């Protein structure tokens, strides 16, 4: 069973390959969770908790446990990426989207784990957590789009019990900046896909590596358990040494 809905301003898809009468209810609960995440963390909703924090209406002690967790994870990621990951935007406001999406997808997958589903994926805006196998009994296939022609897939990867995330400017425009250069836009690369042990790891490090520009792929190369595929502004692709094991 597969269903897609527009939540958080992007398509969110859930597919459960297990044959189970409990699948529809489980998928509904996943969508309800994403709606809750949007209501809590969206910087575009005036009523969200993060918007209230940015307006100075909530003290640190008054933040929800979820918000405290995300801020802790963001600070951890900032340290692990030498400051290239930072949820403080150029205007001084908090924007935790670089950590929230992958974290939320991972949490949604864990919800399905707890309900004993073994073969499924959760996809939010192209970032994916995959479990087990698809309906054909094979690893889940994920296409990496050509950032210069989104109708074209330039690379197909196959994952199982892993996460994949892509950071880039070809869909949302310039929304990732170099925090070490006063919010300078990233112009030398256009796409960076990372595969990791889960989508949370892949997403946060993909965001940080993209902020590094061309040297981001070198950063991914040094991280254990992560592989990456980068496309620069000239259309030239560079991959980490172990990336090909996910292709055919």
The predicted pLDDT at position 178 comes to 67
Q: Which domain holds residue 135?
A: 2-246
Overall number of domains in the chain: 1
The predicted pLDDT at position 173 comes to 46
* Nearest C-alpha neighbor of 132 from the set 109, 165, 105, 103: 109
**pLDDT values of the chain reduced to their tens digit, one per residue, 248 residues:** 999 999 999 999 999 999 999 999 999 999 999 999 999 999 999 999 999 999 999 999 999 999 999 999 999 999 999 999 999 988 899 999 999 999 999 999 999 999 999 999 999 999 999 999 999 999 999 999 999 998 999 999 999 999 999 998 645 544 566 666 666 677 899 999 999 999 999 999 999 999 999 999 999 999 999 999 999 999 999 999 999 999 97
Percent helix, strand and coil across the chain, each to the nearest 5: 35, 30, 35
Task: Give yes or no for a contact between 199 and 131, defined as CB atoms under 8 angstroms apart.
Answer: no
Rounded CA-CA distance 230/3 in Å is 30
The pair of three-digit structure tokens given for residue 76, joined into one six-digit string: 């951890």
Half-sphere exposure of 74 (CA within 13 A, CB side): 18
| Angle ∠(96,117,24) on CA atoms, nearest 5 | 80
CATH number at residue 26: 3.10.520.10
**H helix runs in the chain, sequence order:** 23-41, 49-54, 65-80, 97-114, 199-211, 216-222
Classify 226 in phi/psi space as left (phi over 0), alpha (psi -120 to 50) or beta.
beta
Task: Give yes or no for a contact between 96 and 87, defined as CB atoms under 8 angstroms apart.
Answer: yes
The predicted pLDDT at position 176 comes to 60
- CA distance to 36, 150, 157, 161, 174, per residue, from 106 (Å): 15, 26, 19, 11, 25
């Amino acid at each position: 069973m597969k269903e897609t809905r527009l939540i958080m301003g992007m398509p969110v898809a859930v597919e459960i390959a297990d044959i189970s009468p409990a699948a529809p209810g489980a998928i509904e609960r996943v969508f309800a969770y994403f709606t809750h995440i949007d209501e809590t963390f969206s910087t575009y909703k005036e009523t969200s908790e993060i918007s209230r924090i940015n307006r100075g209406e909530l003290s640190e002690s008054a933040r929800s446990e979820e918000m405290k967790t995300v801020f802790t994870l963001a600070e951890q990621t900032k340290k692990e990426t030498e400051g290239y990951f930072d949820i403080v935007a150029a205007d001084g406001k908090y924007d935790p989207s670089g950590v929230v999406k992958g974290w939320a997808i991972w949490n949604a997958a864990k919800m399905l784990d707890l309900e004993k589903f073994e073969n499924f994926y959760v996809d939010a805006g192209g970032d994916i957590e995959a479990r087990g196998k698809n309906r054909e009994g094979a690893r889940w296939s994920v296409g990496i789009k050509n950032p210069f022609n989104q109708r074209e897939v330039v690379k197909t990867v196959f994952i199982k019990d892993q996460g994949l995330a892509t950071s880039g400017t070809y869909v949302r425009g310039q929304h990732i900046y170099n925090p070490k250069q006063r919010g300078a836009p990233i112009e030398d690369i256009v796409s960076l896909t990372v595969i990791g042990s889960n989508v949370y790891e892949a997403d946060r490090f993909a965001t940080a590596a993209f902020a590094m520009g061309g040297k981001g792929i070198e950063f991914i190369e040094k991280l254990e358990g992560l592989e990456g595929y980068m496309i620069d502004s000239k259309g030239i692709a560079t991959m980490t040494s172990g990336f090909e094991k996910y292709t055919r």
